[in-house]
Amino acid sequence: MNYTIRLVIADDHEIFRDGLALMLSKQDNLSLVGQAGDGIELIALVEELHPDLVITDIKMPRLDGIETTRLLLQKNPHLKIIALSMFDEDNLIVEMLEAGAKGYLLKNADKKEILEAISTVFEDNIFYCKHTSAKLASMIVKSRFDPHKKNRDIVFSSREKEIIGLICRQFTAQQMGDHLYLSKRTVEGYRTKIMEKMEAKNTAGVVIFALKNNLIKEEDIL
């Protein structure tokens, strides 16, 4: 990626925000142009700095991330927003996606996942945290959030559908191979092709796509 992504981050916990800022500032293709402690500060910063992407906590004083996201996207419809949440905030994550966020991360996400989320959302794709629970995946599918509006009709072979079902049940590549009498390498090839077709970055993306498109049933994964 040759383009430098201009970022603003928002979180009311200064120590967490400073740690995230330090990590982001070390990346060659990222430019951290501002930091905010709440939603009102964030809106003012976006108006002033015109970033490409915002990473914001959901729970913030004065104006929370959900309402802030709605207000930001009313004025800046092309702005990309990633939500930050705690592990027990499933309802709030769904509300953030419905408000227009393109992805979400748990606050304990590692550097690799944070950078992957940024590049994925910047390219106008959806990013689901790799620790997405089956419960949250089901809530997202039932919500007003429609992550696959732009997807054309995608055809999967019967073998791909078998593997999709096993991915959604958290089988490893080796376990899938043993189950289907295929080599681990063959299974990994199928998995890669499936994820490319779905534009999924991880298992969570596969699960949500599969549920949304009736490739699996909710009771298969809960």
Q: In this structure, what CATH number is given to the domain that contains residue 170?
A: 1.10.10.10
Cα separation of 174 and 154, whole Å?
26
Does 137 map to a domain? no
Does 84 map to a domain? yes
Does 124 map to a domain? yes
Whether 155 has a pLDDT exceeding 60, the answer reads yes
Whether 5 has a pLDDT exceeding 60, the answer reads yes
Q: Are residues 102 and 171 in the same domain?
A: no
- Contacts of residue 41, defined as CB under 8 A and 6 or more positions apart, other chains included, come to 10
Cα separation of 94 and 111, whole Å?
23
Whether 27 has a pLDDT exceeding 70, the answer reads yes
pLDDT at 128: 94
Q: Which of 114, 131, 148 is the last residue of a domain?
A: 131
What mean pLDDT do residues 47-74 have? Answer: 96
Whether 150 has a pLDDT exceeding 60, the answer reads no
pLDDT at 10: 97
pLDDT tens digits, 169-212: 999 999 999 999 999 999 999 999 999 999 899 999 999 999 98
Which among 19, 54, 50 is positioned nearest to 36, based on CA atoms? 54
> Helix 173-180 vs helix 158-168: angle between axes, to the nearest 10 degrees?
130
Whether 108 has a pLDDT exceeding 80, the answer reads yes
Q: Are residues 122 and 162 in the same domain?
A: no
Q: How confident is the model at residue 133 (pLDDT cuts 50, 70, 90)?
A: confident
pLDDT at 1: 53
Q: Are residues 17 and 123 in the same domain?
A: yes
Residue with tokens 């009771």: 219
CA end-to-end distance (rounded Å), the chain: 38
Rg of the chain (C-alpha set): 18
Does 151 map to a domain? no
pLDDT at 146: 77
Whether 151 has a pLDDT exceeding 70, the answer reads no
Question: Length of the chain in residues, anyone?
Answer: 222
Q: CA angle 27-32-36, nearest 5°?
A: 140
pLDDT at 154: 86
pLDDT at 88: 76
Does 11 map to a domain? yes
Does 139 map to a domain? no
- Which domain covers residue 170, as residue numbers? 158-220
